[in-house]
Amino acid sequence: MSLIIDRGRLMLPGPTDGAAERRVPSERLHLIPEAARRSFVPWITDLPGLKLGENDLTRIAPGRPQAEGEVIEISGHVLDEFGRPVRNTLVEIWNANKWGRYTHVKDPVRERLDPNFLGFGRTMTDEAGRYRFRTIMPGSYLARPDIDRWRPAHVHVSIRGGSARLIAQMYFAGDPHLARDPMFILLGEAQPRHFGNLTGQGPSGEALYNWDIVIGGRNTAYFES
Amino acid sequence: MSEASVTTNRLAPLAEDTVGPYYPYSFIDGDRSDLTRLHYGLSVGPQGQQIILRGRLLDSDGAIVDDALVEFWQANAAGILRTPDNDGHPLLDPFFDGFGRLITTTEPFAFRTIKPGALPAEGGMAARAPHITVTMFSDGITRLVTQIFFDDEPEANAQDPLLASLPGELRERLIARRIETPADGPAVYEIAIVMRGPGETPFFDDLSS
């Protein structure tokens, strides 16, 4: 028996603030013919050289003053669906400051900027697929004042290297804004996987979160070797 | 807790999400919008015809989408992709790896590169017309993927299995038009990638997503 599927997924209208209804394709995605698969998955080897301290978002650079807010540590593994480590892969994160503001020039939120916080950092996974960041606990922010909708505290992550490519968000369990956040709601049954797991306290009292990043679905073409 | 955990030993992957509006500009370091040179100031570089792919990423209002992260992937001039499958291939170009990226502004983007060669048929896979894979991330969407072809390759395009999988009017939307041929500069090809609405570009997906 053969399964005949001639059209791919219909992308659901995404959640973000007017952009989705103008940007999400209205047509179903087209399935890639088997004969055309090989050129769809980039093999990314050209990654930046990183500077010391780029995985520590709590300071603009080593030796600079510490940003305001609660220091947290986020660490874990980047893995494929078979539990194998995704090694030597770039992990980028970015998050809002204590008051819920990004340093990005386009952020319209009028909350305070922190002169000691840029809000983005990078690292490479090691041979076991491990990564580690220190950052400031992000504030929630009023994303849609017109309908009083807040975004819960979250950390964005981007994975890039080899055939790995993923963009996702980590959330914090218990955040009161989760229940009304369309992005979190749209995660559906995947919601639990997007929580950092609070595992304890570090030597300076910082909260330690463990978050394993599992990459699957697309982009697995070259994991098999 | 998830259903997957009771039916398979595989780990359940995270859900792809939007990149949002605030991907840090500084993460675009090194100029990966120009693959015709490895570094500044070199008299050596990749083989092949230099081209510029000039594109407009458009929303359903016909407005250019700015702050989108656009990533490119292509074969070298000989049609060889720098993938693990091709390790040690004699036609790999040491000056070309084929991955580019940029963040869009309110102007059309310009990706300067080498015109990719046709991919040869191999291992049961069909030959492919010269093309560039384009992946887009922006606020409001998760990953969108398509492939862009060239209007001066009509014979190869007519044989391409991806184009052949589409109705004719959709094929046209993936073909970049050569607009000028300066004698001493790169050839310029133009493409509009319409994310939604009239003239919507076909985007692609596989069964494992």
pLDDT of the residue at A217: 72
Q: Which residue of B has its CA nearest to A158?
A: B19
Residues B104-162 have pLDDT tens digits of 999 999 999 999 999 999 877 889 999 999 999 999 999 999 999 999 999 999 999 99
pLDDT of the residue at B7: 73
Residue type, B136: M
| Contact status, residue A121 vs residue A60, Cβ threshold 8 Å | no
Residues A83-131 have pLDDT tens digits of 999 999 999 999 999 999 999 999 987 789 999 999 999 999 999 999 9
Q: Do B138 and A19 touch (CB under 8 A)?
A: yes
Give yes or no for residue B209 having a pLDDT over 80.
no
Q: Do A94 and B3 touch (CB under 8 A)?
A: no
Within 8 A of A119 by CB-CB distance, chain B residues are 24
CB count within 10 Å of CB A126 equals 15
User: Nearest to residue A157, comparing CAs of B3, B66, B131, B18?
Assistant: B18
Q: What is the 3-state secondary structure (H, E, C) of B92-142?
A: CCCCCCCEEEEECCCCCEEEEEECCCCECCECCECCECCCEEEEEEECCEE
What global pTM score does this model have?
0.94
Report, as residue numbers or ranges, the catalytic residues of A.
102, 141, 151, 154, 156
pLDDT of the residue at B41: 82
Phi/psi class of residue A100: alpha, beta or left (left: φ > 0; alpha: ψ in -120 to 50)? left
Please report the number of interchain residue pairs, chain A to chain B, with beta-carbon separation below 8 angstroms. Answer: 242
Distance between CA atoms of residues B181 and B56, nearest Å: 20
pLDDT of the residue at A168: 96
Asked if ipTM goes beyond 0.85, one says yes
Q: How many residues does chain A have?
A: 225
- Residue A1 pLDDT level (bands cut at 50, 70, 90): very low
End-to-end distance of chain B based on CA atoms, in angstroms?
Answer: 21
Q: Do B11 and A214 touch (CB under 8 A)?
A: yes
Residues A194-211 have pLDDT tens digits of 999 999 999 999 999 999
Distance between CA atoms of residues A148 and A132, nearest Å: 34
Q: Which residue of A has its CA nearest to B124?
A: A35
Within 8 A of A189 by CB-CB distance, chain B residues are 2-3
Indicate the residue of A17, A20, A168 with minimum beta-carbon distance to B141: A20
Residues B76-90 have pLDDT tens digits of 999 999 999 899 999
